[in-house]
């Protein structure tokens, strides 16, 4: 069993599935069973829980720029990590609004 629940619909999320969003600087965390659930969650005002990503994603050059607008990021970035089996696929954003816009457009599959 898992203790992680979708921040939008409340469905249980397995440890190797779903998405985890984090504002690392504020140690705030949200989880989603589907990418589409990021959109209404962000529209209604993101409700974060306390927590940090575990494990932390590897620091890669792609995480130093917003995946939506391309602007350089500082430590106040928002991370979204896709859990897919043993793989962790991370994207970074300037703001929650940019995360929402990216998810609305289809995420990596735009």
pLDDT for residue 86 is more than 80: yes
Is 13 contained in some domain?
A: no
17-48 pLDDT tens trace: 999 999 988 999 999 999 999 999 999 999 99
Range of the domain at 80: 19-109
Is 8 contained in some domain?
A: no
Is 6 contained in some domain?
A: no
Q: CA 100 → CA 11, 94, 105, distances in Å?
A: 20, 11, 9
Range 94-107 average pLDDT: 96
Is 92 contained in some domain?
A: yes
Which pLDDT score is estimated for 2?
Answer: 61
Which pLDDT score is estimated for 110?
Answer: 66
Are the C-beta atoms of 31 and 20 separated by less than 8 Å? yes
**Confidence tier at 75 by pLDDT (50, 70, 90):** confident
Structural domain total, the chain: 1
């Amino acid at each position: 069993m898992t203790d992680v629940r979708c921040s939008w619909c409340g469905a249980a999320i397995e440890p190797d599935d779903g998405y985890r969003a984090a504002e690392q600087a504020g140690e705030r965390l949200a989880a989603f069973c589907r990418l589409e659930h990021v959109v209404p969650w962000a529209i209604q005002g993101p409700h974060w829980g306390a927590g940090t990503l575990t494990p932390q994603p590897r620091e890669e050059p792609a995480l130093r720029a917003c995946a939506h607008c391309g602007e350089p990021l500082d430590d106040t970035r928002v991370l979204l990590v896709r859990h897919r089996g043993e793989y962790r696929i991370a994207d970074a954003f300037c703001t929650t609004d940019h995360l929402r816009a990216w998810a609305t457009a289809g995420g990596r599959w735009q």
